[in-house]
């Protein structure tokens, strides 16, 4: 492309080339009218997988809170417009395989950044707010680590249900309207299903669902699928065993929605009667042409699977029915007996935390992938932060 003359703040360079939505440096002023030349060729600008937004809608929502400015869109070259296709990450159904492949490419790039350098400054000056109304270790810390490794800063509330104005009766919508004034992106974990969708409909900045009650956990599903790809080498044609609390587990629900986008997948459900997979997921899989089967024999299923995805029985979802919890807990355990029948190429995954549903003597087996899986969460979340705030 020929050089274009733009009247706008100086653009910063990210890992894929010049990004018009990137944070301006502290030496540049928002109200400067410096004119400069930007030579943009197809070799230096990564094209989006598909472009659905009008150029006029590209930047304002994703410019950092402390230095918002409006670009002169009439002089904005379309080839500079590399907006991510999603404004928020709320549920697994938002993604198609093209977007997933693109995210995984960026995640792999983030893996190289994390391993081969002290970090990156592509999100320098951006602020991420983490609002967690439920306990979290891996999700919250991996998001905060992701932001800091990309040069950004973090505003955090570890137990928003108890130590925020929610304890005084403030609505989620009012909290979101307030917090978005202090930050550029919100990471939300909530105890109510559908809370993330409510937050996204209220916010004018990106919202990422970090788990909403028994609903969904889309970033966990993304890192799960990324892990399967990295460990097994393919996503089409895999056999996947989902084990444990399938009724209350938002991780398995999101994973089922996401893996259904691939070809010739077969899913086995192995769960105690009180926590079997719900019909909405089964109906969805059937509508997508995905073969699924329920079984009570973990050893038989493990012998057929590329991936055994174990989950804990979630005591917090049973309320006062502790008797039901005790009846379900411990029924299906991944131990040495499972390893003996598990194919050599297969892996065992778990969203963590675990209790006793995977015995510790399994940890030393190379097919135990759950701690590698947790580390992959960092790369996926780095990728999502980069994409939502800066685009492709």
Q: Catalytic residue among 33, 52, 168, 344, which?
A: 168
**Which candidate in 46, 62, 140, 189 is catalytic?**
189
- For 366, the token pair is 């190379």
> Which of 121, 20, 31 shows the shortest CA–CA distance to 391?
20
Q: Residues 246, 269: contact at Cβ < 8 Å?
A: yes
Contact 385, 110 (CB under 8 A): no
From the candidates 83, 217, 230, 312, which is the catalytic residue? 217
Region of 196 please: left (phi>0), alpha (psi -120 to 50) or beta. Answer: alpha
User: In whole angstroms, what is the distance from residue 154 CA to residue 89 CA?
Assistant: 19
Burial of 23 (0-12, 13-18, 19+ CB in 10 A): buried
Residue 391 has, within 13 A of its CA and on its CB side, a CA count of 32
- Which of helix, strand or coil describes residue 18? strand
Phi then psi dihedrals of residue 299, to 5 deg: -65, -40
Question: Is residue 218 helix, strand or coil?
Answer: helix
331 assigned to active site = no
Active site residue 149: no
329 is catalytic: no
Which two structure tokens, joined as six digits, stand for 390? 């800066």
Query: What is each CA distance from 230 to 107, 129, 346, 376, in whole angstroms?
Result: 11, 30, 12, 10
End-to-end CA distance of the chain: 18
- Catalytic position from the list 46, 130, 139, 149: 139
Using a 10 angstrom Cβ sphere, with 0-12 exposed, 13-18 middle and 19 or more buried, the burial of residue 341 is middle
Catalytic, out of 61, 138, 148, 161? 138
Query: Which residues lie closer than 8 Å to 328 by C-beta, 6 or more apart?
Result: 245, 272, 274, 275, 313
- Let me know if 381 is a catalytic residue: no
Provide the H-helix boundaries in the chain. Answer: 97-116, 138-149, 160-163, 172-179, 195-202, 218-232, 250-259, 279-287, 298-304, 322-328, 336-341, 370-390
Q: Is 321 a catalytic residue?
A: no
Catalytic site residues?
138-139, 168, 189, 217
């Amino acid at each position: 492309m020929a050089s274009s003359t733009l009247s706008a703040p100086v653009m910063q360079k990210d890992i894929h080339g010049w990004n018009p939505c990137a944070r301006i440096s502290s030496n540049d002023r928002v109200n400067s009218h410096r004119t400069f030349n930007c030579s943009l060729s197809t070799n230096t600008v990564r094209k989006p997988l598909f472009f659905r937004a009008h150029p006029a809608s590209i930047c304002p929502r994703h410019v950092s809170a402390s230095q918002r400015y409006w670009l002169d869109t009439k002089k904005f070259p379309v080839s500079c417009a590399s907006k991510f296709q999603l404004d928020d990450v709320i549920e697994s159904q938002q993604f198609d395989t093209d977007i997933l492949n693109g995210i995984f490419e960026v995640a792999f790039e983030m893996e190289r950044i994390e391993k081969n350098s002290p970090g990156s400054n592509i999100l320098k000056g951006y602020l991420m707010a983490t609002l967690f109304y439920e306990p979290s270790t891996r999700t919250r810390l991996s998001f905060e680590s992701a932001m800091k490794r990309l040069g950004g800063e973090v505003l955090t509330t570890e137990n928003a249900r108890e130590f925020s104005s929610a304890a005084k009766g403030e609505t989620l919508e009012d909290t979101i309207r307030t917090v978005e004034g202090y930050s550029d992106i919100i990471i939300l974990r909530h105890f109510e299903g559908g809370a993330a969708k409510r937050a996204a409909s209220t916010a004018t900045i990106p919202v990422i669902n970090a788990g909403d009650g028994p609903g969904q956990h889309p970033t966990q599903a993304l890192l799960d699928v990324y892990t399967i790809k990295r460990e097994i080498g393919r996503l089409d044609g895999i056999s996947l065993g989902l084990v444990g609390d399938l009724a209350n587990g938002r991780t398995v629900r999101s994973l089922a929605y996401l893996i259904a986008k691939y070809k010739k997948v077969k899913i086995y459900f192995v769960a105690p009667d009180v926590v079997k997979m719900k019909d909405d997921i089964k109906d969805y899989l059937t509508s997508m042409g995905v073969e699924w089967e329920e079984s009570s024999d973990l050893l038989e299923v493990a012998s057929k699977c590329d991936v055994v995805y174990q989950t804990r029985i979630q005591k917090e979802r049973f309320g006062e029915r502790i008797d039901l919890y005790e009846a379900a807990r411990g029924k299906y355990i991944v131990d040495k007996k499972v390893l003996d029948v598990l194919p050599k190429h297969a892996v065992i995954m778990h969203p963590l935390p675990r209790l006793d549903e995977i015995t510790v003597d399994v940890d030393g087996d190379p097919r135990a992938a759950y701690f590698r899986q947790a580390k992959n969460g960092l790369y996926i979340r780095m990728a999502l932060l980069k994409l939502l705030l800066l685009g492709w």
